[in-house]
Amino acid sequence: MNAVTPLFSKVYCLDTGFHTGRENMEFDRKMMAAFLDGRFQERFGYGSCLWRFYAWQPFAITLGYNQPEHDINRRACIADGIDVVRRPTGGRAVFHADEFTYSFITDSPAENSIHYRMVHEVIMHALEDLGIKAEFCRSTLSRSESAPDTGSVSCFTASARYELQAEGRKLVGSAQRKTRNILLQHGSLPLSCRHRELWRYIALSEGGRIQELREEMEKKSISLGEILGSLPDYNRLVELMVHSAGVVQQTVPVLLHTGDLSDFIEGYDYPESIKQQAS
């Protein structure tokens, strides 16, 4: 892997483990607010970035910031105990089942595409240590003009420039949100094929369209478990990502604990302007 020019003076990493969908998204909203009003930079330094690694319990579906709620069958989600929450980032629906998830936040005037590529360089380097050869998607995953757009509700049936694929199928789904110079990026790395079960919770009225969505996700996405033959350990992935974040940015990452950010997360009365920008 070719090294990229370091973008940050310091790289911070945080592992928050398994939480509900609401807790995970609320954490990132509050951290984005802490960047927007400068509290994070004042404490941890300007020109820094924050990686957070986490997972989901119970499993959850997240909707993109502007995605219609009626894309999801709420009744089916309730019956199966699946959380449904909205991300502060854009993109399409993701079923977070057996999954390793990251969020990345920074204060930077650089173009979104620069950070998008850098984040996936970090993931690519971490996957190399697992023996997985990932590469950038060269183009969006194609769909015939005559085919119904069943994949428009699913993140893993479309790819963007600099997203990662393995064995010709999408491996990482990512989405961004930028307010002023504050960038928040989310990403999902499926550990098993259960992310494809999104079809069970999509509100498609025609059975044929549901089958088409199932086939599209089978054809266009892949998981770490399918490549490795077993599910990788969550803690091992955290270690690899922390190491890779340091290698790519040519620095030693600083490990944070939730307690280091407790006043950012708990009991802070955000100004209304910050609430609106981070929501």
Question: How far, in whole angstroms, is CA 176 from its chain's centroid?
Answer: 9
Cis peptide before 271 (omega within 30 of 0): no
How many Å apart are CA 54 and CA 235, to the nearest integer?
A: 10
- The Cα-based distances of 69 to 12, 22, 61 in angstroms read 34, 15, 11
- Going by the DSSP 8-state scheme, the letter that residue 252 receives in this structure is -
Selected catalytic residue, list 13, 77, 137, 155? 155
**Helix spans in 83-133 (H):** 112-128
DSSP 68-100: -GGGB-HHHHHHHT-EEEE-SS-S-BEEESSEE
Torsion angle, alpha carbons of 177, 31, 253, 59, to 10: -80
64: tokens are 């993109």
For residue 113, give the nearest of 65, 176, 49, 48 by alpha carbon.
176
How many Å apart are CA 203 and CA 76, to the nearest integer?
A: 9
Largest Cα–Cα distance in the chain?
A: 54
Give yes or no: 155 in active site: yes
Half-sphere exposure of 217 (CA within 13 A, CB side): 28
Tally of CB atoms within 10 A around 249:
22
- Going by the DSSP 8-state scheme, the letter that residue 96 receives in this structure is E
177: tokens are 């949100």
Catalytic residue numbers? 155
